[in-house]
Every structure is written in structure tokens, then in C-alpha cells.
Structure 1
Amino acid sequence: MITLGFVYIVTGLFFAVTALLSAADRSNQKRFGNAAFWGLLALSFLAGDRLGDLGNGMLVICLVAIAGFGQLGQGSGRTTDAAARAAEALKRGAKLFLPALVIPAVALGGTLLFKWREGIAQQGQETIVALCLGTIIALLCGYIWLKPKPMIPLQEGRRLMDAVGWAAVLPQMLASLGAVFALAGVGDVVGGIAGVAIPDGSLFGAVLVYALGMALFTMIMGNAFAAFPVMTAAVGLPLLIRTYDGDPAIVCAIGMLSGFCGTLMTPMAANFNIVPAALLDLKDRNGVIRQQIGTAIPLLGVNVLLIWWLAF
């Protein structure tokens, strides 16, 4: 059986290789900071369950310290030059996207297969396992088809991680923050405030507060996964599901989509909105957000109506 541990090992090995390549990149003046950052992240994936709560906490503090003190940089890396990439793009055309399309195809097909034939992948983790396998298969397809030098894909992966920097770990940290908020009872506090704001017996008011709350908390914390436990504990479970007998699947699924509307409108979602601006070298660092607001606000309104219409 393929378990989640397999995914952790593959991810940890990638970050370990990234750390070694970063340490060897003399064009990066902060190469040892990069190596330490990715090395610690590799350690968390490969041996996090053996470090204990204190060890993992210290590891996270070290990651924050490295990023906070500006010890992450970016080098040139030993990979193909712009001319070689342009020639390859001209030769292959749009077919260059085929390896990338392998990933979602295997992820979807693998998820359906693993759910149909139980025992192949860990129950409840079928999609993550399939996504990991899809990435590996896509990499192998790229090697077989394009025949690059063995280290070029790894160098490109390392170059991309250096460009993304600390924002690569932001989703995990923000999701953990949501769990901490839930354990600390933030949802109960928000629920008390929502109870005052929502008129008695108003189903639409409860739906509106839930959807808007998901979007607003996502904008504050940068991740819908962090907002979800707070707003679901505050409004989703006690009001929409228990009081008004709403369909849990619809409430939670469209509630998450409402949170993603907030993702489109916040710089806190750095890996979605700030990193692309940096990679594309946009003069307006908030340019991605400005382009997305016109989609996010109408979509949020549609989500409110969908929850109200479908879940009850």
C-alpha cells in the first residue's frame, strides 16, 4: 500500500537535493542560508514525526529566523540558457505542455482508481498519493522525451524554489494557524459576534455571514484552509448545518470556494499573488490582485446564492 509516508519521503528528498544544490551555487551570495532553509524543510518531511513537538517547533522558528533576517537569495544555477530554451520552445511548440498535463491526468485517474480498488493507496489520502505519482511520472516522461542532462530538471526545480523563497512554506504554516485558532476557541468568539449580527431566524443572513467571513478571514490569514476551521466552528456547524439542517458537503465545499475568493484579493496569499508578480517582474507588485478583484467579488456573491439555494 502506498501511504502518505511515501509522499513525505519524495518531498523530503527533493528539498534535500535542493539544499545541496543551493550550497554548491557560488553565484548566490546567500547560498548557505538557502541550503539551511531547504535542508530544515527536508528534515521536517523526512524525520518530523521523530523530532517531537519541541523539535518541530524549534525547526519552524529557525525557518522563520532565516527568512526574517533576509538570509535567502537567488543565484544563476547551472541550467540551460535563454537561447537554448527559446530554440527548444520553437522546435517543440505547444507540445512542451504535455508533461505538465500528465500531472492532473494521473492525479484524477489515480484518485478514481484508488477509491475503486481499495488497498492500493492509504484511505483518505488517495488524491495526494495520486498527485505525487503524477509528478514522478511527468518527470520521467520529460526525461524520456526531452533527454535533458540528468541534473537540469533538479537545477530548474531548485531555481524555482529559490525564486519563490519563504512563500513556499506559507500555505502549511497558515493552515496550521487555522488549527491553532480553532483549538484556542477563536471560532466560539467569532460565533458569539456573528450571533449578535445575524437576525433571529434569518437563514440568508447566516449564509451571508458565513461566506463573507470565509472570504475576510482568508484575506487576513492568506489561506482558506486557515479560515475554514474558524468560520465553520463559528457559523457553519452550529447554524447552517445543525440549526437549519443544511447539507454539510455543500456548505463546506462552497464555503471553501468563498474563502478562495478572498485568496484572490489579498497580498497575504503571497504564493498566489506576490510570487507571480516577482517571477514575471511586474512593476506593480499588486498587479495580480488588481486583475483578480473583478472576478472575485461577483463570484463571492454567486457563492452566497449557491449555498442558500442548494444546501437547504
Structure 2
Amino acid sequence: MQAFIDVSLNVFYVLMGLLMLYMAYKAFTTIQGVKRIGTTVFWILIALPFILGALIPAWLIGLFVVLSSLLTLSKQVTFGKYKSLDETFGQKQSKLLKNKIFIPSFILAFVAVGIAMALGNYANSSLFAIGVSSLVSLLFALIMTKAKATESVEDGARLFDSMGPVAILPQLLVALGALFTTAGVGEVISQAITGVVPADNRLLGVVAYVLGMVIFTMIMGNAFAAFSVITAGIGIPFVLSQGANPVIAGALALTAGYCGTLMTPMAANFNIVPAALLEM
């Protein structure tokens, strides 16, 4: 089963990469002016790691990240043009489907939770669950709306493109958190906390864990980026070692981290993406 999960994840990543290549194609064919090349190259650089995965050396993926960041910094990335929904057709479908349009969203959530719980003992089971539930939800949506698969590709690319470079911000910040953990930042934090918080005091350990997540998330701009560092430095030695449930402690720590994100300008990480998805 583990082998099947690993292969399936690679398939999901390839599908995501192909969608980004389609976005690169749309950028090249619909954008006028100097930003056409920059936008096309940007989405190609993002797509290649998803498609080729482990075949690409780590240093080359790092180079892709730097180049894509430079393209964004120099304002060479803009939005492609996609087919817009016919307003009359949209109103007709809205009256026909009504609240049933939300069913695929519920299917995605419940199927993902069910698969993740059933395969909880396998590595990357949660990622596998999200991938499978997304496909099941998409299939149900296509059957319910009688839409063509090509329309889902077009509209999916349009929504993703509407977020632009911000869409990859969470992944980059998580990678930064992993880099900090590898560099031993967590150990430094642990040594600093040891002199303040008694190792056998559960309450102070929890307080340090929660506040550490809030503060470090404010610094990093992303709770997931801070999670690995603070959990290694404070969570494991001061909370989990006292017998805390890792699932519950981790969920509460991430919740504290989200509070930290929303206290900084980096809350754009959470605010811009949903706003772009909802076209607000």
C-alpha cells in the first residue's frame, strides 16, 4: 500500500505541474509586451519540480526558486487571459444547481478525512487523501454540472493564475522553516528556554510552546514554517516529553501560530489567497 501511495503522489504532482505548464502556455499566447516571457518562464520554473520531482538535483530546484523570485521581484509576472464565463449561462446554472454546488466541497472534505483516518499508519497518507478526494470531488462536480473536463482545466488554471506568485508563498515559507530546523535553530531556542522554563513544569512548557509559535510565526509569516522549528526546540522537550498527545498539541500549536500570522503584514499569506480565489 505504501508503494501505491508513493506512486499516486507522484501522479498528483505531475498533474499539478501539467496545469502550471498550461498556465505558461496561456501566458505565452495571451499576454502582450515584455511580461509575456517573464510570466511564461516563471510558471515553467514552478512546474518543472512538480513534474520531474526527485530527478532534479536539489541545487537546481533552489536555483529555480531564486530565479522565480527574481522574476516576481522585478515585476515580470502578470496574469494570462482565459475564457470568461458567459453571464447568462452562469445565472441559468445558478438557478438550476442552487446550494447543490457546495456538495463537491463537502465530498472533498469528508473523503479526505475518511481516507486519512483509514490509512493513518502510512507515510504521506494525508497528502494521498487530499489528492484522491480532489479527484473524486472533481469527478462528481463534472457529472453534476455536465461540464467538460477541459472546462475544469481552463477554470482551474484561471483561478490559480488569479492568485499569481502568492500561491507558492506557503510552500516557500515551509521550506524556510525546514532550513532553519536543519541549521539547528530549534536547538538554540531549546537551550535558551531551558534556562527559563523548568523541564518538569507542564504549564510553563505549554505556555512557552504556544507563545513561541505566536512569536516565531510573526517572524516567519507562516505557522507551518514556524511549526517545525518551535516543535523541535520547545514542543518535543517541554510538552511532548511530558506525555502530551502529539496530535492535539500540534493542532493547538498551529492554531496559536495562525494567531501570530494574523498579527503581522504577512497575514497576506492567509488573506490574499482566499480573496483571490473568491475574486474579491
TM bin, normalised by shorter chain, reads 0.7 to 0.9
Aligned counterpart, 1:162 = 161
Contact 2:26–2:80, Cα closer than 8 Å, also in 1: no
Q: State the alpha-carbon separation in 2 of the partners of residues 172 and 66 from structure 1.
A: 17
Overall identity of the aligned pairs, in %: 36
Unmatched tracts of structure 1, length 5 or more: 283-312
Deviation at 1:84, TM superposition (A): 2.9
Matches within 5 A, 1:240-259: 240-242=239-241, 244-259=242-257
Corresponding residue of 1:192: 191
Deviates more, 1:171-180 or 1:8-17: 8-17
Q: Give the alignment of 1:48-59 within 5 angstroms.
A: 48-59=53-64
In structure 2, C-alpha distance between the alignment counterparts of 1:23 and 1:85, rounded to whole Å: 28
From 17, 29, 41, the counterpart of 1:36: 41
On the 8 A contact 2:221/2:269 being kept in 1, the answer is no
Separation in structure 2 between the aligned mates of residue 211 and residue 252 of structure 1, nearest angstrom: 10
Give the whole-Å Cα distance in 2 for the aligned partners of 1:124 and 1:82.
45
1-side partners of 2:199 and 2:114: how far apart?
46
Quote the Cα distance in structure 2 between the aligned partners of 1:142 and 1:263: 33
Q: Which residue of 2 aligns with 1:180?
A: 179
Aligned-pair distance for 1:131? 1.3
| Contact 1:179-1:229 at 8 Å conserved across structures | yes
How much has 1:50 moved relative to structure 2? 1.4
Deviation at 1:158, TM superposition (A): 1.6
> For 1:258-297, what aligned pairs fall within 5 Å after superposition?
258-277=256-275
Q: Distance in 1 between matches of 2:144 and 2:276?
A: 30
Q: Spell out the pairing of 1:1-312 with structure 2 (5 A cutoff).
A: 1-3=4-6, 4-26=9-31, 30-115=35-120, 123-198=122-197, 202-242=201-241, 244-277=242-275
Mapped contact 1:114–1:126 kept (Cα < 8 A):
yes
Amino acid at match of 1:259: G
Per-residue deviation, 1:142: 2.4
The CA deviation string for residues 93-132 of structure 1, in whole angstroms up to 9 with x for no partner, is 11111222221122123234445xx9xxxx2122211211
Task: Name the SS of the counterpart of 1:268 in structure 2.
Answer: helix
Q: State the one-letter code of the partner of 1:159.
A: R
TM-score normalized with structure 1 length: 0.78
- Distance in 2 (alpha carbons) for counterparts of 1:114 and 1:280: 32
In structure 1, distance between residues paired with 2:153 and 2:34: 20
Segments of 5+ residues of structure 2 without an aligned counterpart are: none
Question: Partners of 2:192 and 2:155 in 1: how far apart?
Answer: 49
Query: Shift in Å at residue 191 of structure 1?
Result: 2.3
Distance 1:87 1:26, change over 3 A: farther
Q: Give me the whole-angstrom Cα distance separating, in 1, the residues matched to 2:245 and 2:115.
A: 28
Matches of 1:268 and 1:185 in 2, distance apart? 24
Indicate if the aligned counterparts of 1:80 and 1:152 stay in contact, CA closer than 8 A: no
Give the whole-Å Cα distance in 2 for the aligned partners of 1:279 and 1:144.
23
Q: Counterpart of 1:210 in structure 2: which amino acid?
A: Y
- Give the root-mean-square deviation of aligned CA atoms: 2.6
